[in-house]
Amino acid sequence: MGAVVAVALSGLFTACVAAAAGGAGAAGGYYFTSRGVGSTIAGNIDEVAARAQSVLAEEKIPVETSKTENGGDKRELGGHKNDLDVTIKLERSGPNEVKAEIGARKNLVEWDKDYAQRLMDRLVKGNQAASR
């Protein structure tokens, strides 16, 4: 009986953590990686990529690297701001859905997840404004 309660409580705890980490309007909420933050965003890859470039420009992060693969279904943008190496990775995960991951690396072993989350907030909110 105690094991059943423990499993039920752990499931509830996991759901609460996921809800707390969720971004407003993000299709799947936020998830945290060892290097930053990710989310699934409603919209097509071109719209989300354009918004990602706008977010970088608003933050005064010049795009220094840009990669496109799989006919444009997978994209990566990168640049530097002060001591941070910022990367935005986008991949189409459905007809109107994009998986986005943002990392802000300080050095080989240290990442600024708070800054990555702030960038993701702007990417998600900008996407909401574009869809209205």
For residue 23, name the pLDDT band (cuts at 50, 70, 90). Answer: very low
User: What's the mean pLDDT in 75-81?
Assistant: 97
2-131 architecture in CATH?
2-Layer Sandwich (3.30)
Residues linked to residue 84 through DSSP beta bridges, in sequence order: 81
- Give the model's pLDDT for residue 121: 95
Residues linked to residue 79 through DSSP beta bridges, in sequence order: 86
- Give the model's pLDDT for residue 29: 87
| CA-to-CA dists, residue 57 to 26, 62, 75, 77, 94, angstroms | 22, 7, 17, 12, 27
Task: Give the model confidence (pLDDT) of 32-68 as tens digits.
Answer: 988 899 999 999 999 999 999 999 999 999 999 999 9
Per domain, the residue ranges of the chain are 2-131
Collapsing DSSP to helix, strand or coil, 30 comes out as: strand
Which one, of 57, 132, 59, 130, lies nearest residue 98 by Cα?
130
pTM reported for the whole predicted model: 0.75
Task: Give the model confidence (pLDDT) of 83-121 as tens digits.
Answer: 999 999 999 999 899 999 999 999 988 999 999 999 999
Q: Is the dihedral of CA 121, 17, 76, 114 positive or negative?
A: positive
Which one, of 129, 127, 131, 130, lies nearest residue 41 by Cα?
127
